[in-house]
């Protein structure tokens, strides 16, 4: 199987690096030529509790994403792992426009790792023939140049979301996802195919919508959210607002989801959430596709989600030079 990893960041290097170490043919597609050259010069190191895995420089295939569509004409891959952030989806879509002209365009298969909502619809309307699969993962990865740290082993669920379903050829789509999951397992990921991927997408959205903006505003690791009543009260307000939206939409969640949110805080107690990390690194956050999605859905039902709305605006208004 040939895997194209688009976005050689934290998740991209973790998944791509481990797949390559398991003997899968992997090509990395970077935003800049500079990063592609760096990977080919230094190789990739994956640091896990069990030790380091090293992909030698000469084994790394990395190119700027601007060359992907052209190379795909001659040598298409079997699956693309899309590991860019939500904030870079528009750039990626612009770069992929010429894939529409491929003869075999219905064989463009993309596994989307993004947190939040919005990317699948956007991608499906830009590439209507592509097979899109959601990859919901509890892996935690952090990149430093060409080294990626894996924070324990998480679970990854792959599945066709509502966006990609009802487009025919479901058996073929499902089979290709099963094959991708098998390859992921060979590479050491706890990966399963889920028939309830939308539930998992909304569960993750809720967890991110409660934890991320508060840790970003208070600049605390996830575990510290549980340390003060005021923080727990804010979490609960965000939770209740989101659950009211889900109820109006007919989205069923587990009865003990509030317990699960607190349990994620405990199991990732020392984590800097991705939203806080983005702010500290002066990157645009994914708040628009996380809390912004809750706000957008609430509007359809005239529901009040004032906590999400306030946090959305507070985070969007953060100084672009970051905070220290």
Ligand X SMILES: CC(C)(CO)C(=O)C(=O)O
Q: Which two tokens stand for residue 124?
A: 């499906």
For the CA atoms of the chain, what is the radius of gyration?
Answer: 19
* Binding partner at 268 among ligand X, ligand NDP, none, C-beta below 5 to 8 Å by kind: ligand X
* Binding partner at 16 among ligand X, ligand NDP, none, C-beta below 5 to 8 Å by kind: none
* Subset of 228-267 contacting ligand X (CB under 6 A): 264
Is the CB of residue 96 less than 8 Å from the CB of residue 69? yes
Q: Which residues contact 37 (CB under 8 A, 6 or more apart)?
A: 62
Q: Is 7 in the site for ligand NDP (CB under 6 A)?
A: yes
Q: Is 40 in the site for ligand X (CB under 6 A)?
A: no
Q: Is 114 in the site for ligand NDP (CB under 6 A)?
A: yes
Nearest to 224 by CA among 276, 176, 156, 185: 276
Stretch of residues binding ligand X (CB under 6 A), selected from 37-45, 91-99, 168-176, 206-214: 206-214
Q: Is 274 in the site for ligand NDP (CB under 6 A)?
A: yes
Is the CB of residue 189 less than 8 Å from the CB of residue 19? no
Q: Which residues contact 125 (CB under 8 A, 6 or more apart)?
A: none
Q: Considering the complex, state which of residue 35 and residue 212 has its C-beta at the smaller distance from ligand X.
A: 212
Stretch of residues binding ligand NDP (CB under 6 A), selected from 36-44, 139-147, 180-188, 193-201: 139-147
Q: Is 289 in the site for ligand X (CB under 6 A)?
A: no
DSSP string across 234-279: HHHHHHHHHHHHHHHHT----TTHHHHHHHHHHHTTTPPPHHHHHH
Q: Which residues bind ligand NDP (CB under 6 A)?
A: 6-12, 29-32, 35, 65, 83-86, 88, 91-92, 95, 113-115, 137, 139-141, 143, 274, 286
């Amino acid at each position: 199987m040939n895997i194209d990893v688009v976005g050689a960041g934290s998740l991209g290097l973790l998944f791509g690096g481990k797949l390559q170490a398991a003997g899968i043919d992997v090509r990395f597609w970077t935003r800049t030529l500079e990063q592609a050259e760096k990977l080919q010069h230094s190789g990739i190191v994956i640091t896990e509790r069990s030790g380091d895995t090293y992909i030698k420089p000469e084994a790394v295939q990395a190119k700027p994403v601007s060359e992907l569509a052209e190379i795909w004409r001659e040598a298409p891959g079997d699956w693309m792992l899309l590991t860019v952030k939500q904030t870079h989806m528009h750039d990626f879509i612009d770069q992929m426009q010429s894939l529409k002209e491929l003869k075999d365009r219905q064989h463009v298969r993309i596994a989307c790792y993004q947190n939040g909502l919005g990317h699948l619809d956007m991608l499906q309307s830009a590439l209507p023939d592509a097979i899109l699969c959601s990859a919901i993962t509890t892996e935690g990865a952090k990149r430093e140049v060409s080294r990626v740290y894996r924070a324990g082993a998480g679970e990854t669920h792959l599945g066709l979301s509502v966006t990609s379903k009802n487009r025919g050829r479901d058996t073929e789509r499902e089979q290709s996802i099963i094959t991708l999951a098998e390859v992921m397992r060979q590479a050491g990921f706890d990966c399963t195919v889920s028939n309830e991927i939308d539930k998992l997408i909304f569960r993750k959205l809720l967890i991110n919508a409660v934890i991320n903006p508060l840790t970003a505003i208070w600049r605390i690791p996830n575990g510290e959210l549980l340390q003060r009543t005021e923080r727990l009260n804010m979490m609960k307000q965000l939770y209740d607002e989101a659950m009211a939206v889900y109820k109006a939409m007919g989205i069923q969640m587990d009865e003990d989801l509030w317990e699960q949110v607190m349990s994620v805080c405990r199991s990732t107690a020392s984590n800097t959430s991705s939203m806080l990390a983005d702010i500290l690194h002066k990157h645009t956050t994914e708040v628009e596709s996380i809390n912004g999605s809750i706000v957008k859905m609430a509007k359809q039902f005239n529901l009040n989600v004032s906590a999400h709305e306030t946090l959305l605006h507070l985070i969007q208004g953060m100084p672009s030079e970051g905070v220290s």
